[in-house]
A and B are shown apart, each in its own frame.
Chain A
């Protein structure tokens, strides 16, 4: 409790002292106008709280190995060891597909990131990270929807795309968002794809009323998406059915972006990170999930080709897990975590943030990695420098946020 308040004050004080993003904002805005290309943001939310200390491993902290006798990732250079990043941190070996991005400096991490709210409830913490207003439950919309409202240009039906059957909190709000079914369901035709059905509904929804307009917009978006994905669908239908998974979905997104210049925002929610029991180390439960995730991200990188230059991907999770492993070879709900950012505009090859260390007195409530960078400060920096948002827009996306760009200075560029 005390730790959290102190951090919060620190952030607020820094904001008040002028370390805000305003000055960078003007700069970023100009840069975006000059380049003119569509700037994209993809958010991957790891639901269930991924164990960040085993993702970007602080192998330079002796305490790490004391706290995690059976699940720690070994030092680089040993069998199943971490992939060395900067002499202090290493990457989980299952994430090796990401190393090319690290080496080309388009992948960065912000360690000890998270929400100023200290809840350890998945429900509350996800809700706060998606609404972008930690501690305030009554916010009705998600920050990505508010972001959509701030993006310039005419609105098109595929500006924002959600992967999955249910519109998540982060994208809900006033502006319409398209959705693509994820996994195997993606190729499933809708009844409206049958000409006779389409003709009948077209005739009923031919007016100028709200319903007719929504209907036509929905049809346009769906056709656009289906045309873009057609080739891939056919390949998937003809070949052996591959396990529905993240790599397939990101390949689909890449395809969609390459063919539809409109897509500005995309969102994936991935579950399965709540590793209370037997989470494993270099191999095991967490490693398996990370492999899928890394392959998906690498597929996106490959699939995007030149568009990678204009795309930023953020990987985030509602909170981190306990610094100590528990009695079941797992970890429990904690606080600080690591945030991943990648893409052409990212000044990568670097672990950002202020590392508080794992010493007892530095841990949040004596048990969890502390939060030294508010997740909103990182996202705001990206929105300013990459998406070209001004200060007023940022204030609408993250109202009343104690933003402080100090820990992520130079993270993104236009």
Chain B
């Protein structure tokens, strides 16, 4: 049996926090075996309840194209300001419903899935390749983006992930690359009038090389030219064209498309290398180079260390991860193995030192409660209050993973407020889901509430708790005990 402290560390950091029984499970499994199993999520049996939960969501299985077909006309109507206020509200509600289902699905998996590293990496990569749900059609696409472009690749090659995000309509739309057009090209008209550098800049600064990755403004311009013509099928015109070519006009709506008419075929110098395919391969080749660049390896290594290990990680660890990245062609599973098996990560002085992001805090508290959470609204609302609304990061850099970003007096009191309410059983986590039903009355606090059992929560942590926390709990009235554990300094960190 490995030490309870190490097992808690694994559950807290590699996953999103232990549910009752997890620490014992890891202790009997052994540290290395736990990691290997977490890296093969398909072999981890999912809970039947979670699978049922996801299957019950009406838009959860819809593809980006299907969602586009269904909702683009509405988005268009709203943007044009045509419908009456009442109609507008109905249309917006329908679109919001899709985003809410996505949020419910994410929380249900984060809280309920035994494949916890997969959930942590989904959080990590989504943030790395952030899109904002409140920008236009991304409201209905955000869930599909996570399903199609993030989740399948969380342990795979970085290049595959980069390409999947680059081509996903949610990203094309969020960072405007769908508008990026060679000036005076055959396809330049209307809003597709010229170069849009937005994605080209962010993909180098945030997704690959990093801000100090050694690129210049000239490289941004060159990459923007290489990526011209990327977009998603815009609707009616494309459908007509498909029909003329004998294809199902609805098959490709809202999917990735390369439009040669909007592409700049001229040769470009990017980071000292010439790209002159003159077609879709221009952008593909540029992404390949960026994905495998040493600066990218270092940037991803640094971000993983910051997410999993420390706000200011040991440079030697970053170098080790970066080396694995380059040696394996950007194999994320291999990089994670290097990370989790390192002394920097495993050493005792690293335990309980990282301040949780609001997301980790809320998810870990819900997991520790041991409740089968059926109502996500209190959790999602708390994330908003704590400044980390799910799918709500406006800027492309995503949410930070550091203490500096999240520890503030105001936010800490709000966490404590949430912890005490949860501990006292005042949050209706196990009632019918209120997230998806606008007309659901906000669950009135019933007079009778059942506090959570603090012993269960302490046991879920393998009994690991500071003396100060134990003392406070010992003398506190019963309904407050669980809230004290969840609101303790021990629980704020992982």
The reply to whether the CB of B238 lies closer than 8 angstroms to some CB of chain A is no
Pick 15 A–B contacts, CB within 8 A, sort by A: A138-B205, A165-B385, A166-B384, A166-B389, A167-B410, A169-B394, A176-B408, A178-B409, A191-B420, A204-B487, A205-B489, A210-B355, A211-B407, A215-B409, A277-B84
Which of A243-251, A324-332, A377-385 lies at the interface?
A: A324-332
A→B interface (CB under 8 Å): 121, 123-124, 127, 137-140, 157, 165-167, 169, 172, 174, 176-179, 190-192, 196-197, 200-201, 203-207, 209-212, 214-215, 217-219, 221-222, 276-278, 326, 328, 330, 332
Q: Which of B46-54, B99-107, B466-474 contacts A (4 or more CB under 8 A)?
A: B466-474
Q: Are B409 and A138 in contact (CB under 8 A)?
A: no
Encoded as 1 (CB less than 8 Å from any A CB) or 0, chain B from 470 to 492 comes to 01100111001001100111001
Would A218 and B412 be within 8 Å (CB), given that A138-B396, A211-B492, A277-B88 are in contact?
yes
Interface residues on B, range: 35 or more
Q: Told that A174-B404, A203-B471, A215-B412 touch, could you supply 7 new A-B pairs with CB distance under 8 A?
A: A137-B198, A191-B417, A196-B477, A200-B480, A201-B487, A211-B355, A211-B412
Query: With A201-B487, A204-B472, A209-B489 as given contacts, are A137 and B409 in contact (CB-CB < 8 Å)?
Result: no
Q: B132 on the interface (CB 8 Å rule)?
A: yes
**A177 & B472 in contact (Cβ 8 Å cutoff):** no
Does B202 contact A138, Cβ atoms closer than 8 Å?
A: yes
Q: Report if B82 contacts A (CB, 8 A).
A: yes
- A-B contacts at CB below 8 angstroms, number: 124
Given A138-B205, A192-B413, A196-B477, A204–B420 Cβ distance below 8 Å? Answer: no
Question: Max chain A CB contacts within 10 Å: which of B132, B421, B472?
Answer: B472
B395 is an interface residue with CB less than 8 A from chain A:
yes
Given A176-B408, A196-B480, A212-B489: A218 in contact with B397 (beta carbons within 8 A) = no
**Are B417 and A190 in contact (CB-based, < 8 A)?**
yes
Instruction: Give residues 156-202 of B contacting A (CB, 8 Å).
Output: 198, 202
Most buried by A among B88, B409, B413: B409
Q: Known contacts A123-B134, A192-B417, A197-B480: does B468 contact A203 (CB below 8 Å)?
A: yes
- Is the contact region of chain B dominated by helix, strand, or loop, or is it mixed? helix
Partner of A214, one of B389, B409, B475: B409
**With A and B bound together, what is the CA distance between A326 and B83 in angstroms?**
12
- Min CB gap B118→A, angstroms: 28
Contact B413 A222 (CB under 8 A): yes
Q: Is B135 a contact of A203 with CB atoms below 8 Å?
A: no
Please tell me if B81 contacts chain A, counting CB pairs below 8 Å.
Answer: yes
Kindly state the separation between the CA atoms of A205 and B413 in the bound complex, as whole angstroms: 11
Residue B313 at the chain A interface, CB threshold 8 Å: no
Distance from A44 Cβ to chain B, minimum over Cβ atoms (Å): 20
Chain A residue numbers with a CB within 8 Å of B396 are 137-138
Do A221 and B81 form a contact, CB below 8 Å, given A140-B397, A192-B417, A196-B480? no
The smallest beta-carbon distance between A226 and chain B, in angstroms, is: 12
B84: chain A residues within 8 A (beta carbon): 277, 328
B365 contacts chain A at the CB level, 8 A cutoff: no
Q: Is the CB of A127 within 8 A of B394?
A: yes
Which residue of B is nearest A172, CB measured?
Answer: B387
Given contacts A138-B202, A276-B81, A214 and B484 within 8 Å (CB-CB) = no
Hey, which chain B residues are within 8 Å of A124, CB to CB? 135
Chain A residue nearest to B86 in the complex (CB): A277
Cβ of A326: which chain B residues have Cβ within 8 Å of it? Answer: 81
Say if the beta carbon of B416 comes within 8 Å of chain A: yes
Centre residue among B395, B413, B477, B484 by max chain A CB count within 10 A = B413
> Nearest residue in A to B409 (C-beta to C-beta)?
A218
Which residue of B85, B389, B487 is within 8 Å of A277 (Cβ)? Answer: B85
Q: Contact at A121–B135, with CB atoms within 8 Å? A: yes
Chain B residues with CB under 8 A of A172: 387
A138-B206 in contact given A191-B416, A205-B489 (Cβ < 8 Å)? yes
Q: Specify which chain B residues have a CB less than 8 angstroms from the CB of A209 in the assembled complex.
A: 489
- CB distance A165 to B395 under 8 Å? no
Are the CB atoms of A214 and B134 closer together than 8 Å? no
In the complex, whether B36 has a CB less than 8 A from a CB of chain A is no
B410 touches A218 (CB 8 A): yes
Tell me which residues across on chain B come within 8 A of A205, comparing CB atoms: 489
When chains A and B are docked, how far (Å) is the Cα of A59 from the Cα of B84?
29
Given that A172-B387, A176-B408, A192-B417 are contacting pairs, would A330 and B81 also be in contact in the complex, using a CB cutoff of 8 Å? yes
Asked whether any CB of chain A lies closer than 8 Å to the CB of B403, the reply is: yes
B409–A176 contact, CB under 8 A? Answer: yes
A200 near B472 with CB under 8 A, answer yes
* A residues in contact with B385, CB < 8 Å: 165-166
CB-defined contacts of A219 to chain B, threshold 8 Å: 409, 413
Nearest residue (CB) in A for B418 is: A191
Give the residues from 424 to 472 in chain B that come closer than 8 angstroms, CB to CB, to chain A: 468-469, 471-472
| Known contacts A211-B489, A214-B409; A277/B81 CB under 8 A | yes
Asked if A218 meets B132 with Cβ closer than 8 Å, knowing A137-B395, A138-B395, A204-B469, the reply is: no
In the docked arrangement, what's the CA distance between A140 and B396, Å? 10
Binary A-proximity of B242-253 (CB < 8 A = 1, otherwise 0):
000000000000
